[in-house]
Structure 1
Amino acid sequence: MRRNDKENEVNKRTKEHQFRDLQNAMGVSFENEKLLKQAFTHSSYVNEHRRRPFEDNERLEFLGDAVLELTVSQFLFKKYPTMTEGELTKLRAAIVCEPSLVSFANELGFGKLILLGKGEEMTGGRERPALLADVFEAFIGALYLDQGLEMVISFLEKVVFPKINAGAFSHVMDFKSQLQELVQRDGTGVIEYRVLQEKGPAHNKEFVSKVTLNGEELGIGTGRSKKEAEQHAAQMALDILKAKAT
């Protein structure tokens, strides 16, 4: 056996072991392991192995993107019943954006499993953010095809949803949403807003609003609209709750 053939055989066995380890670590067992391998196959690898029937992961990435949006949307819809459509959209965008997907992929060690062409390997493709994000989406697509939506949700319950529950994406919410998320996470009670005062002429009104938690005042804010006053009250409440927690 020639040296290159020996190296290829060793690399193949190593990858197979890594794929098995990945499935064991995640508690997933693919019925069609070709789908799993395809999820990690970059187009550059396919281009260098034209004599073999390899498929790249681009179609799986397309499917995985849609499945990820659906499952994350469902989770947020149930978790945050008071959030508006705009707020939910903004939060979902932060969860499924490239930097977030890259962090999920890195946490799972996906980079070392990717099948790359030599040129892409030499230019650092294994650490390229866009490539890692694509692989994560392709894996979701492969898992959906092989195991169905419930298994995808089960996987996300281990990898993604705990980070949402821990407030990892709260920074993209407005102050009212952040306060609601914090209270829901701690299970500490009910938030209510009340307008205390309206001042000034009709064309230049100023509102004063109060936010309470279980009837206890947490913050007071002013603004040119009720919404703005509530946002400022929520901002003060967040500062108070965070100070108490430290």
Structure 2
Amino acid sequence: MKIFPKLWSNKTKDHNLFIKIKGLLGYMPKNKNVYIAAFTHRSMNIKNLDGKPQNFERLEYLGDSVLSTIVASFLFEVLPNADEGKLTRMKSKIVSREKLNFIGKQMGLLDLLVFSGKKDNLGDDVYGNLLEALIGAIFIDKGYETCKSILKEIFFKPYIEIKTLDKEVISYKSLLIEWSQKQKQNLVFETEADNGKDPSVNFYCKILVNNKVVTKSRDLSKKKAEEKAAKKAHRILKI
């Protein structure tokens, strides 16, 4: 049984999708249905001829695992003297949500998504999700070795700089907490729901050091509000 049977789809839209994918990847997809699924949002409620839901979520799961393996292999090859700890830290930075979101946005993947509603409401994580779904589609269509070669050209070469990667910060919140522990400073994150006028901003975070307010930030989620505030505090405190 095929993993991705024939879909009910619009031939004109599909053709445009394949042309854009060819521009991104350098080849015309062979298993076209898997790429259609990779850029279909669950809100479309599309089903294949077997009656099963067809969207990018399963491919996102697969792509996440494939990318993790390929990144681990890549680092193992390019950093022959790195120990397990450094390899793990470097891998975490490459596959971080922020990094994947950035790459997915730079690749323009949201333009390919079929979505029922305003794409502006999807949030930044959709870029990384689509990138993982695309990787899952490449893996199914081309196999592991070819997928690895393609990612070398469209992922590693343009977006991953090993020489500067070690200096990149994954989480300013973690960095701030580590600093406060080393310096024996009393650090407090006060985060609560924000019921302000802007419906897109749901959380408010205030950071205090030794009972003094250092900075404040608002954002869509608790995690993002805290990370934004921590980044500002990192700059203000000159850590």
Structure 1 residues 154 and 51 mapped into 2: Cα distance closer, same or farther (>3 Å)? closer
- 1:158 aligned to 2:153? yes
Contiguous gaps of at least 5 residues in structure 2: 1-8, 170-239
For the 8 Å contact 1:40–1:57, the answer to whether it is kept is yes
What does residue 167 of structure 2 align with?
Answer: 171
What does residue 121 of structure 2 align with?
Answer: 124
CA deviation map 1:168-194 (0-9, x unaligned): 523149xxxxxxxxxxxxxxxxxxxxx
User: Shift of residue 150 of structure 1?
Assistant: 1.8
- 1:149 aligned to 2:144? yes
For the 8 Å contact 2:21–2:28, the answer to whether it is kept is no
Distance 1:86 1:140 in 2: 26
For the 8 Å contact 1:61–1:138, the answer to whether it is kept is yes
Q: CA RMSD in A?
A: 2.5
User: Shift of residue 29 of structure 1?
Assistant: 2.4
TM-score of the aligned structures, taking structure 2 as reference length: 0.59
Letter in 2 for 1:159: I
Structure 2 counterpart SS, 1:160: helix
Structure 1 counterpart SS, 2:55: coil
Q: Give aligned pairs, total.
A: 158
Distance 1:36 1:154 in 2: 18
Structure 1 residues 45 and 80 mapped into 2: Cα distance closer, same or farther (>3 Å)? same
Return 19-28 or 80-89, whichever deviates more. Answer: 19-28
Structure holding more helix per residue: 1
- 1:56 aligned to 2:52? no
Rg: which structure is higher?
Answer: 1
Which runs of structure 2 are paired with 1:87-236 in the superposition (5 Å)?
A: 87-118=86-117, 121=118, 124-125=121-122, 128-162=123-157, 163-165=159-161, 167-172=163-168
Structure 2 counterpart SS, 1:117: coil
Query: Share of identical aligned residues, percent?
Result: 28
For the 8 Å contact 1:90–1:172, the answer to whether it is kept is no
What does residue 78 of structure 1 align with?
Answer: 77
Contiguous gaps of at least 5 residues in structure 1: 1-8, 174-246
